[in-house]
């Protein structure tokens, strides 16, 4: 048997998340069906991090075992032949049996892209979150900094979360703005895109979307930055803001030790604002 790792990118708009379901309308279902057609045998995959419905992936990493011995490029081109156009294998690489897509990952990375504009998204619909009120960068960064480190993130955990522990270690959250400098002629502020970057050893179900809801409440002036500490310490989902839209959430991929020799990024990283 040979163990193969794949880097997979996808637009999650049309799918019910990563994990296989009876409907068959998930990324995992589509990928395993394509692999089975190319390999001519049933293929089961394990991923680095499951994503929710509507969430996108720039470099999901999966592994599977196969009796076939084929060049890495063949796994890429052959599998992509049977995948829908919004899912694509970016790279393939044989790995030792000790490698595990989820268990070998030391961290996971996500980005959330948000449009701040008086007008809703059009060409980027489903690919960005949206707010129509201006945001305060310093206030959001202050609030975000209060989450850094090892904490009990129960307040940001969905009721359906299956994680064994709510204690996670969150790295500093990077918030950047990109867009027009001139103010909108009617509003007095400039439309722009915001990018929020997250990295942690692992994430709880809806954790980032719940943090985003709180950051936006702070950014729009509805809550002070110190409120984020109160939400964290409450250890109650009721203390936090509503779960924000999945549209602008991207799984950038897992982090692995260099010894596995796996790619760290795909071309899609350079497309994302």
Q: Would residue 34 be called left, alpha or beta, if left means φ above 0 and alpha means ψ between -120 and 50 degrees?
A: alpha
pLDDT of residue 45: 97
- CA pair distance 114, 139, nearest whole angstrom: 16
pLDDT of residue 269: 85
CATH of domain 107-250: 3.30.70.660
Within 8 A by CB and 6+ apart from 270, the residues are: none
Polymer length of the chain = 273
- The H or E element containing residue 109 is strand 107-116
CATH 3.30.70.660 in the chain, residue ranges = 107-250
Tokens of 273: 């604002």
- CA pair distance 53, 25, nearest whole angstrom: 10
Tokens of 244: 């924000």
Catalytic (active site) residue 152: no
Reading the chain (273 residues) residue by residue, the pLDDT tens digits are 899 999 999 999 999 999 999 999 999 999 999 999 999 999 999 999 999 999 999 999 999 999 999 999 999 999 999 999 999 999 999 999 999 999 999 999 999 999 999 889 999 999 999 999 999 999 999 999 999 999 999 999 998 888 899 999 999 999 999 986 666 656 667 789 999 999 999 999 999 999 999 999 999 999 999 999 999 999 999 999 999 999 999 999 999 999 999 999 888 888 887
pLDDT of residue 233: 97
Instruction: Specify whether the CB–CB gap between 39 and 31 falls below 8 A.
Output: no
Instruction: Using DSSP, state whether 164 is helix, strand or coil.
Output: coil
pLDDT of residue 268: 83
* 65 phi, psi to nearest 5 deg: -110, 140
pTM tops 0.85, yes or no: yes
CATH architecture type of domain 2-104 = 2-Layer Sandwich (3.30)
pLDDT of residue 181: 61
CATH 3.30.70.580 in the chain, residue ranges = 2-104
Which residue is associated with the tokens 């899912």? Answer: 87
Which residue is associated with the tokens 């948000």? Answer: 114
Please give the radius of gyration of the chain, using alpha carbons only, rounded to the nearest integer.
Answer: 20
List 29, 52, 145, 247, catalytic entry: 52
Which residue is associated with the tokens 């103010």? Answer: 183
pLDDT of residue 186: 63
Instruction: Specify whether the CB–CB gap between 79 and 46 falls below 8 A.
Output: no
């Amino acid at each position: 048997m040979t163990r193969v790792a794949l880097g997979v990118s996808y637009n999650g708009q049309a799918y019910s998340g990563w994990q296989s379901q009876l409907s068959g309308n998930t990324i995992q279902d589509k990928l395993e069906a394509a692999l089975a057609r190319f390999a001519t045998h049933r293929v089961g995959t394990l991923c680095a991090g499951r994503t929710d419905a509507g969430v996108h992936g720039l470099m999901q990493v999966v592994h599977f075992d196969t009796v076939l011995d084929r060049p890495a490029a063949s796994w890429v081109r052959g599998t992509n032949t049977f995948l829908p156009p919004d899912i694509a294998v970016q790279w393939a690489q044989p790995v030792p049996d000790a490698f595990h897509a989820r268990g070998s990952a030391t961290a996971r990375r996500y980005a959330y892209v948000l449009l701040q504009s008086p007008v809703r998204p059009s060409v980027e619909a489903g690919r960005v979150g949206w707010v129509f009120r201006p945001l305060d960068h310093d206030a959001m960064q202050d609030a975000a900094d209060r989450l850094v480190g090892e904490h009990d993130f129960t307040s940001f955990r969905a009721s359906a979360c299956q994680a064994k522990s709510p204690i996670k270690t969150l790295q500093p959250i990077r918030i950047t703005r990109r867009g027009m400098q001139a103010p909108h002629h009617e509003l007095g502020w400039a439309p722009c895109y915001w990018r929020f970057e997250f990295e942690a050893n692992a994430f709880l179900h809806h954790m980032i979307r719940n943090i985003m809801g709180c950051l936006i409440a702070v950014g729009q002036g509805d809550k002070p930055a110190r409120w984020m500490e109160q939400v964290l310490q409450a250890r109650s989902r009721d203390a936090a803001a509503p779960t924000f839209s999945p549209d602008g959430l991207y799984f950038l991929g897992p982090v692995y030790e260099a010894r596995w020799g796996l790619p760290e990024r795909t071309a899609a990283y350079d497309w994302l604002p």
